[in-house]
Amino acid sequence: MTRELRSFVAIGVSMLAACLSAPAVAKPTGYNLVCSNCHDGGAQPTVTVTAMPTTVAPGGVTTLTVSVTRTNGNRAGFFVTTRGKGEFQLVDAVGTRLIAASDEGPAGVTHTMPKTSTTGDNVFQVRWKAPAQMGSVDFDVYAVSATGKISPTTNMVFPEDDGMGHKRLGFSFGCAGSSFWPDTDGDGFGATDPDGPTQLCQQMKGFAVTSDDCNDGDAAINPKATEVCNQVDDDCDGKVDEDLPPVPLYKDTDNDGYGVPPAVMMGACGAINGFSPRIGDCNDNDRMIHPGVKETCNAVDDDCDGRLDNGVLPTCGVGWCARTSASCSASACIPGKPRPEVCNGFDDDCNGVVDDGAAICPAGQACVNAVCVGAGADAGTTPDTRPGVTGGATAGGCAIGDRPPVGRWVVPVVAAIVPLLARGWRRRRRSASRQA
């Protein structure tokens, strides 16, 4: 076997077995999973793809021609996919073959052996049949330009000097089609895609006519946005915070984002080292102390709210006995002394239970919602079992424990009777005056 033949065979075996377990030279998002670092040490080749005819009716067939420049050597391989749309057909049944969809990538067409050209680009061809319904498709082509270098000891190929390339061709069937760019943030402006635009019969959600959005992940940033002072290129003109008036800045020695007075009017919209548009730092020599910092127990006002260790000092005891330590030491916290439990909605005796105990209300009454209600049960009374009432009794159909205080009905009755008595008195006075 000649050295040239050994080289050809070694390249084919290496590209098919070591890097093309699918077996394709390349797959979307970075080539075959077992070969994510193969063929990436050399220069990127130029990949072109054309379709003839350039448009077809639904169900029609077009022929794709893929060219790969000899950037790194005379050999090349390719993989083309539509991610399941339409149907691929082979032109060269010996040099190319169909690949079914798998965990490593979508269905498509690849070479069976690397192609070799000594005079021009390596060229591959494949046919594609359009679906029966009008639409558009993207042909994504992934290719490798290989050197074909062989190790004299192992007879294996060296892929480190090979290079990978990618090209996309948008194609419409049953319509004229137009080019659109991805618009992820939905602001009406698309982002540049290095692989080119997507071909669509009509604009769809998620696509835009232009590709001049400089941040397609933020709808507030686009060529029509208004520039504001935020150290961001809001209007995508390549400049940050331009043409904005001076703003008041505060000396920020520790560069924690908060300064101290007095204010100084400066340009650059606050993007000046050692100054901040925000005020409120209570220690400008410690960047760990400023508004918004989480307070820790350290005898320091970390969050600059004017209080030391607020909300973080150790506590002890429950109910009436609950206390806060005078320092950050838990052992310095001394619980208060309990007091007799009474009916008041509070844990007076510090046992963790509110209003417990049989002696917190007079005999025959019960503590309900922090109030002692009910009276001693007389003969002939029956317990009141309605929800929310405890200790009460019913006598003659009225709930003793639910009886309202006298003041609840005395005041309204008196308020209604007094005007009537006053009118009667005035009538008697007028009658007496006439008789006189």
Contact by Cβ (8 Å): 144, 162: yes
Contact by Cβ (8 Å): 9, 157: no
**245: confidence class by pLDDT, cuts 50, 70, 90:** confident
**419: confidence class by pLDDT, cuts 50, 70, 90:** low
The three-state DSSP-derived secondary structure of the chain is CCHHHHHHHHHHHHHHHHCCCCCCCCCCCCCCHHHCCCCCCCCCCCEEEEEECCCECCCCEEEEEEEECCCCCCEEEEEEECCCCCEEEECCCCCEEEECCECCECCEEEECCCEECCCCCEEEEEEEECCCCCEEEEEEEEEEEECCCECCCCCCECHHHCEEEEEEEEEEECCCCEEEEECCCCCCCCCCCCCCCEEECCCCCCEECCCCCCCCCCCCCCCCCCCCCCCCCCCCCCCCCCCCCCEEEEECCCCCCCEEEEEEEECHHHCCCCEECCECCCCCCCCCCCCCCCCCCCCCCCCCCCCCCCCCCCEECCHHHCEECCCCCHHHCCCCCCCCCCCCCCCCCCCCCCCCCCCCCCCCCEEECCEEECCCCCCCCEECCCCCCCCCEEECCEEHHHCCCCHHHHHHHHHHHHHHHHHHHHHHHHHHHHHC
Q: Enter the tokens of residue 322.
A: 């609950």
Q: Per residue in 97-118, pLDDT tens?
A: 999 998 878 999 999 988 999 8
Same domain, 112 and 190: no
**223: confidence class by pLDDT, cuts 50, 70, 90:** very high
Q: Give the lowest-confidence range in 150-164, 184-198, 251-265, 416-430.
A: 416-430
Contact by Cβ (8 Å): 97, 73: no
Residue 120: CB partners within 8 Å, gap ≥ 6?
70
Mean pLDDT of 349-375: 91
Of 225, 227, 218, nearest to 186 by C-alpha is: 218
Same domain, 203 and 91: no
**270: confidence class by pLDDT, cuts 50, 70, 90:** low
Same domain, 122 and 196: no
Same domain, 215 and 151: no
Tell me whether strands 61-68 and 122-129 are parallel, antiparallel or unpaired: antiparallel
Report whether pLDDT(407) > 60: no
Q: Enter the tokens of residue 83.
A: 């991610």
Is 136 contained in some domain? yes
**195: confidence class by pLDDT, cuts 50, 70, 90:** confident
* Of 316 and 379, more confident: 316
Is 19 contained in some domain? yes
Is 319 contained in some domain? no
Mean pLDDT of 363-372: 92
- pLDDT for the residue numbered 252: 94
Is 48 contained in some domain? yes
Residue 268 sits at φ, ψ, to 5 deg, of 65, 10
Is 134 contained in some domain? yes
Tell me how far CA of residue 198 lies from CA of 166, 171, 183, 248, in angstroms.
Answer: 15, 8, 11, 47
**405: confidence class by pLDDT, cuts 50, 70, 90:** very low
Residue 244: CB partners within 8 Å, gap ≥ 6?
227, 228, 229, 269
Q: What is the rounded distance in angstroms from the CA atom of residue 47 to the CA atom of residue 64?
A: 13
Q: Give the lowest-confidence range in 149-163, 173-187, 229-243, 370-384.
A: 370-384
Is 198 contained in some domain? yes
Q: Enter the tokens of residue 380.
A: 């002939």
Residue 204: CB partners within 8 Å, gap ≥ 6?
180
**244: confidence class by pLDDT, cuts 50, 70, 90:** confident
- pLDDT for the residue numbered 436: 47
Is 252 contained in some domain? no
Single out the residue in 238, 258, 289 at which a domain terminates.
Answer: 238
If you average pLDDT over every residue of the chain, what do you get? Answer: 80
Of 246, 251, 234, 11, nearest to 112 by C-alpha is: 11
Of 220, 190, 193, 217, nearest to 205 by C-alpha is: 190
Report whether pLDDT(88) > 80: yes
Same domain, 121 and 206: no
Same domain, 161 and 187: no
- pLDDT for the residue numbered 396: 34
**422: confidence class by pLDDT, cuts 50, 70, 90:** low
Report whether pLDDT(249) > 60: yes
- The CATH number of whichever domain residue 97 belongs to comes to 2.60.40.150
**381: confidence class by pLDDT, cuts 50, 70, 90:** very low
Same domain, 172 and 182: no
Per the structure, the complete domain to which residue 375 belongs is given by 366-402
Contact by Cβ (8 Å): 279, 261: yes
Q: What is the rounded distance in angstroms from the CA atom of residue 132 to the CA atom of residue 351?
A: 79
Single out the residue in 196, 217, 238 at which a domain terminates.
Answer: 238
Report whether pLDDT(423) > 50: yes
Q: Per residue in 45-71, pLDDT tens?
A: 999 999 999 999 999 999 999 999 999
Q: Per residue in 277-306, pLDDT tens?
A: 899 999 999 999 999 999 999 999 999 999
Of 200, 191, 209, nearest to 170 by C-alpha is: 200
* Of 81 and 244, more confident: 81
**7: confidence class by pLDDT, cuts 50, 70, 90:** very low
Count of structural domains within the chain = 3
Same domain, 120 and 29: yes
Is 233 contained in some domain? yes
Same domain, 77 and 169: yes
Same domain, 11 and 31: yes
- pLDDT for the residue numbered 271: 59
Same domain, 166 and 220: no
**20: confidence class by pLDDT, cuts 50, 70, 90:** very low
Indicate the pTM of the whole model: 0.50
Same domain, 102 and 212: no
- pLDDT for the residue numbered 42: 86
Single out the residue in 176, 209, 227 at which a domain terminates.
Answer: 176
Mean pLDDT of 188-197: 90
Q: Give the lowest-confidence range in 98-102, 123-127, 374-378.
A: 374-378
Report whether pLDDT(209) > 70: yes
Report whether pLDDT(317) > 80: yes
